[in-house]
Amino acid sequence: MKKIFILATLLFSVLTVSAQKKSKEVFLMGKIEASDLQTVTYNDWYQPNYQNYTPDAKVVEQIKSKINQYTITIFMGTWCEDSQHSIPAFFKILDQVGMDKSKVTLIAVDRDKKTKEGFENKINIFKVPTILVFKDGEEVNRIIETPVETLEKDLLKLVTGQHYVPNNTY
């Protein structure tokens, strides 16, 4: 009986420490820069996902001549596995196409897809990441959570005016 009590106490302690560790995770909120994701806190997922993604070079070449006519706003969660996977890869694409970084806005949201500043208001963010592409201040379309094909192929469709229906639309 004593062994069971000790085992139960040990298990409870491990679970409590694990829960405390998770509750102390730091999530970015509001407008951020890609460089914020390259800090020690997030570098365990940012750099590997950036380095390991290989965009289709032919698609990248097709995007290059069009991309700087657009602005991009990205809503992501540093707590979200889809964001952790897709956003570094998307920034690698943007680097390869030569996107002017002043035309990219990166916004980190909480688990409810909200920011203190209300950046998400009137934009209908219900999944992250959501990548919004704008031309002349008007939304062209968006990539929601996961690409239909690949990030670069979906982006090419958006910047060349091809028909595109994002995944996960409600």
Task: Tell me the per-residue pLDDT of 120-146, one tens digit each, with 9 for 90 and over.
Answer: 999 999 999 999 999 999 999 999 999
Q: Is 56 exposed, middle or buried (0-12, 13-18, 19+ CB in 10 A)?
A: middle
Would you list the domain boundaries of the chain? 26-159
Per DSSP, the residues of 35-59 read GGGGSTTTHHHHHHHHHT----HHH
Radius of gyration for the alpha carbons in the chain, expressed in angstroms and rounded:
19
> How large a percentage of the chain has pLDDT more than 70?
84
| H helix or E strand, kind and range, residue 75 | strand 71-76
Please tell me the distance from the alpha carbon of residue 87 to that of residue 51, in angstroms, as a whole number: 12
pLDDT in tens, 38-64: 887 888 999 999 999 999 999 999 999
What fold is seen in the domain 26-159?
Glutaredoxin (3.40.30)
Which residue has tokens 């829960």?
A: 19
